[in-house]
Amino acid sequence: MRLAVLVSGTGSILEAMLGGGLPVDLVGADRPCRGLGVAADAGIETVLVARCEWTMRGTGEDSVIDGHSAADHDSAAGGVSDLGRRRFDREGYSCELAAVLGGRGVDVVAMAGFGTVLDASFFEWGDGRYRGRVLNTHPSLLPAFPGWHAVRDALDAGAAESGCTVHVAIPEVDAGPVLAQRAVPVLAGDDETTLHERIKKAERELYPATIAAFLGEQRAGQERGGRM
Ligand code: GAR
């Protein structure tokens, strides 16, 4: 059973997975990012399926990209200049990414700070190959504070605690069966950086352990006669 991790950012959750001995076979990204370097340094195969190649000239209505303003996204993507004036072909991108992973024999996908929302065509690709086999970690105690600004939203709401959620991903964003959660306190004087780092510390323990348990269940299902 082959595991792929999807990243877009610093890859510190990926580092924790590797440090914990998770059998990561492939790391994919939607943009150049440090996470790809983390994988390459560990000798893991990497693949970049660049979302900027799946944009098309449009009406400008897609000026918000996966919850980020175009400016936010551009900076996260390393300076792509005009995404705000383009439409993103989400279905085309989702199909392509599934085909790239499927073509490399990937069975289970763990998103670790992946910055593109995948639509149903990803999960349904290849006769539903990734249905129920995509995991995500989110920096809040879902269903509280879904979306791209979960840490900021928790601070703005004056929450006394926040945390992280590991769940099975479905086409709806930050939804799907919850596998594990861990709370962390919000401390006086916290800003987005300090609170997010406290949450990530919890994610670096909880996510690898939850993925390992999930893989164990998948293997057991396979031995009982499943299709993997
Ligand atoms: C993690 O906090 C993860 O929960 C979050 O991105 C961070 C990745 O950190 N994911 C999301 O917000 C997805 N909605 P990293 O790049 O240091 O591994």
- Please pick, among 138, 149, 167, 196, the residue that the annotation labels catalytic: 138
pLDDT of residue 73: 45
pLDDT of residue 67: 46
Average pLDDT, integer, range 14-25: 97
Contact 65, 93 (CB under 8 A): no
Ligand 1 atom showing the smallest separation from residue 164 Cα: 4
Residue bearing tokens 């900021």? 152
Average pLDDT, integer, range 10-19: 97
pLDDT of residue 72: 39
Q: For the segment 118-175, what is each residue's pLDDT rounded down to a tens digit? A: 999 999 999 999 999 999 999 999 999 999 999 999 999 999 999 999 999 999 999 9
Closest to 130 (Cα-Cα) out of 77, 168, 90: 168
Strand partners, 164: 182
What the chain holds in terms of domains, given with CATH numbers, is 2-131 (3.40.50.170), 138-228 (3.40.50.170)
Give this prediction's pTM: 0.89
Nearest CA to ligand 1 atom 8: 113
| 163 within ligand 1 shell (Cβ under 6 A) | no
Output phi, psi for 118, to 5 deg: -95, 135
Average confidence score pLDDT of the chain = 89
Closest to 136 (Cα-Cα) out of 173, 184, 94: 173
> Rounded to the nearest whole angstrom, what is the distance from the C-alpha of residue 223 to the centroid of ligand 1?
33
To the query of whether residue 138 is one of the catalytic residues in this protein, the response is: yes
Contact 14, 7 (CB under 8 A): yes
> Rounded to the nearest whole angstrom, what is the distance from the C-alpha of residue 218 to the centroid of ligand 1?
24
Residue to mutate (ligand 1; options 17, 73, 138; most atoms within 8 A of CB): 138
Q: Burial of 20 by CB count in 10 Å (0-12 exposed, 13-18 middle, 19+ buried)?
A: middle
Q: For the segment 49-77, what is each residue's pLDDT rounded down to a tens digit? A: 999 999 875 544 444 445 444 433 433 43
